[in-house]
């Protein structure tokens, strides 16, 4: 039996999940899970990259202990964040988190060098203050980029630590706003205009490429050897592999909400730019979508309340609370990394002359309704830009479990909501590996399989 290890690391947690095929079923077993959160390092909001890698190794050891050795593995993470390495492979910079405020106002500086129109024409990527292009431009003021030899996105770096091979995977590279949408290569025009050295970037490889095998020291530590593949290493890229319905709009619902569709080719025109839609790379497709705030706001409310409520309990409070009509702009910058989310909502309401929530339930209701209205606006744009109507919405990811939010989405967006796969990202990661390893002839065959979920207790029998 061939086991495939999907390591899926999000902005709040990571997990190691084993997948295997039996006839027309894909079986799934979560073997390890860990918390991931940014922390202050040298006055910057950063990811603890050493801790991340430690957890990757720890989860791989669990596979060995369970005597379930994967024949292949792949890693996906969130997008935009990166590291720079010198000529001996040492880190030149802290791995700064996209929620750090040091590049809040860098976009306008970049637009003085290369216009929004030209940038969108080249890349087709949504303008967001934390895109890699703005992070890297800000970084160039603090360190000499000529000292860098390697630019690696987070999953690229983790794979480098495992294999010693330096590559840039396509789907995650598209989130940088530095990749040309037509050539799928690093855009030298943009890089040269911003005085970013072109030589630090590597060959762009596609999902389904075999990168190599584990370094000998890693093998000695974890107890097995395996092949390392490139999946769609941007987590949303892997998640978008799973739904199979051309009449459905996809919402990948997690810390962020990624709402969009598959297209055969990029859609790059003035209307698309004005609506701030993005053309990110996918598995032989373009993921045409918009990045919208997600469950982060609820996660932060939960944290502000010292985790006395579970997510389910919070949503029940929202459902039972007195109705509140206040709708906030969930994409407002102040909700990106506030000290206190509840106070940030209060400040926003005061500034906009809106009624403030008066209870925990009303804060939850306000957030969930505001998310649903943001989705409604995005769907209207999506249909206008693509000149077609979509019959329903497929929700995938952790948000599948948020029944309160999904009911609001259906009500406010006026169409049925299909509850998809909770672990869509990990499943898409594994599908990439399985297709590349010829377990399936194509994606349609993989999608047609029934998903069977196993528990650790079953695995340990």
The domain limits of the chain are 3-236+424-456, 243-420
Closest CA to 392 of 278, 290, 243, 284: 243
Average pLDDT over residues 151-174: 98
| pLDDT for the residue numbered 461 | 58
The pLDDT value given to residue 176: 98
- Percent of the chain exceeding pLDDT 90 equals 93
Mean pLDDT of 208-216: 98
Give residue-wise pLDDT tens across range 14-25: 999 999 999 999
Mean pLDDT of 152-166: 98
Q: What percent of the chain has pLDDT over 70?
A: 99
Query: Greater confidence, 244 or 386?
Result: 386
For residue 11, pLDDT over 90 is answered with: no
Distance CA 390, CA 245 (A): 10
The whole-number average pLDDT for the span 99-114 is 93
- Per mean pLDDT, which range of 106-110, 180-184, 332-336, 406-410 is the poorest? 332-336
**∠ CA(187), CA(274), CA(121), 5° rounding?**
20
For domain 3-236+424-456, which architecture applies?
A: 2-Layer Sandwich (3.30)
252-284: pLDDT as tens digits: 999 899 999 999 999 999 999 999 999 999 999
Those residues whose C-beta lies under 8 Å from the C-beta of residue 273, and which sit 6 or more positions away, are 116, 117, 120
**Which pLDDT does position 460 carry in this prediction?**
64
- Give the residue among 186, 192, 126 at the shortest CA–CA distance from 151: 186
Q: Give CA 46 to chain center in angstroms.
A: 17
Distance from chain centroid for Cα 331 = 16
d(CA 362, CA 392): 28
Q: Do domains 3-236+424-456 and 243-420 have the same CATH topology?
A: yes
The confidence score (pLDDT) of residue 29 equals 97
d(CA 147, CA 70): 37
Pure H helices in 41-175? 49-65, 106-113, 116-123, 132-139, 154-163, 170-174
The rounded Cα 16 to chain-centroid distance in angstroms is 16
Over residues 397-407, the mean pLDDT reads: 95
Q: How far apart are CA 328 and CA 372, in angstroms?
A: 11
Query: What's the pLDDT tens digit per position in 417-431?
Result: 999 999 999 999 999
Q: What is the mean pLDDT of residues 232-255?
A: 93
Mean pLDDT value across the chain? 95
Q: State yes or no: is 187 an active-site residue.
A: no
Cβ neighbours around 217 below 10 Å, total: 9
The catalytically annotated residue of 144, 235, 329, 346 is 235
Q: Which CATH code of 3.80.30.20, 1.10.760.10, 3.30.420.40, 3.40.50.2300 fits the domain covering 243-420?
A: 3.30.420.40
Helix extents (H) in 66-153: 106-113, 116-123, 132-139
Q: Is the confidence at residue 457, as pLDDT, over 90?
A: no
> With bands split at pLDDT 50, 70 and 90, how would you rate the model's confidence at 245?
confident
Average the pLDDT over 335-355 and give the result. 95
- Average pLDDT, integer, range 160-178: 98
Other CB atoms closer than 10 Å to residue 262's CB: what's the count? Answer: 17
Q: Span 341-354, mean pLDDT?
A: 97
Can you give the pLDDT at residue 459? 64
Give the per-residue pLDDT at 42: 87
């Amino acid at each position: 039996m061939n086991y495939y290890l999907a390591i899926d690391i999000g902005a709040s947690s990571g997990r190691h999940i084993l997948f295997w095929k039996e006839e027309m079923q894909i079986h799934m077993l979560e073997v390890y899970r860990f918390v991931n959160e940014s922390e202050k390092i040298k006055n910057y909001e950063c990811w603890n990259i050493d801790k991340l890698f430690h957890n990757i190794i720890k989860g791989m050891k669990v596979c060995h202990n369970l005597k379930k050795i994967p024949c292949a593995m792949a890693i996906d993470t969130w997008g935009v964040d990166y590291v720079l390495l010198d000529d001996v492979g040492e880190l030149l910079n802290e791995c700064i988190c996209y929620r750090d405020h040091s590049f809040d106002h860098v976009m306008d500086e970049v637009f003085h060098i290369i216009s929004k129109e030209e940038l969108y024409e080249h890349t087709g990527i949504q303008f967001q203050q934390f895109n890699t292009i703005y992070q890297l431009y800000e970084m160039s003021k603090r360190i000499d980029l000529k000292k860098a030899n390697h630019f690696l996105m987070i999953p690229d770096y983790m794979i480098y630590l495992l294999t010693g091979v330096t590559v840039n995977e396509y789907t995650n590279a598209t989130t940088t706003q530095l990749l040309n949408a037509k050539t799928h290569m690093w855009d030298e025009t943009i890089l040269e205009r911003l005085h970013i050295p072109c030589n630090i970037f590597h060959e762009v490889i596609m999902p389904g490429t075999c990168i190599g095998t584990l370094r000998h020291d890693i093998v000695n530590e974890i107890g097995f050897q395996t092949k390392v593949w490139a999946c769609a290493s941007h987590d949303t890229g892997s998640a978008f592999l799973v739904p199979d319905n051309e009449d459905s709009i996809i919402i990948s619902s997690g810390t962020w909400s990624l709402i969009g569709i598959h297209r055969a080719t990029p859609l790059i025109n003035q209307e698309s730019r004005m609506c701030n839609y993005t053309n990110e790379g996918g598995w032989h497709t373009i993921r045409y979508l918009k990045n919208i705030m997600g469950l982060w706001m609820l996660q932060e409310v939960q944290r502000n309340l010292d985790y006395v409520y579970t997510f389910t309990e919070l949503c029940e409070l929202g459902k039972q609370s007195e109705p509140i009509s206040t709708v906030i702009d969930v994409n407002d910058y102040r909700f990106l990394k506030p000290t206190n989310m509840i106070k940030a909502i209060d400040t926003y309401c005061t500034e906009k002359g809106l009624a403030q929530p008066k209870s925990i339930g009303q804060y939850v209701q306000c957030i969930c309704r505001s998310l649903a209205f943001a989705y409604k606006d995005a769907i209207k744009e999506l249909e206008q830009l693509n000149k077609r109507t979509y019959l329903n919405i497929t929700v995938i990811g952790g948000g599948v479990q948020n029944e309160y939010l999904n009911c609001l989405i259906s009500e406010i967006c006026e169409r049925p909501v299909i509850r998809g796969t909770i672990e869509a990202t990990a499943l898409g990661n594994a599908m990439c590996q399985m297709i590349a390893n010829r377990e399936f002839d194509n994606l349609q065959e993989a999608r047609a399989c029934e998903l069977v979920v196993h528990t650790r207790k079953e695995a340990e029998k």
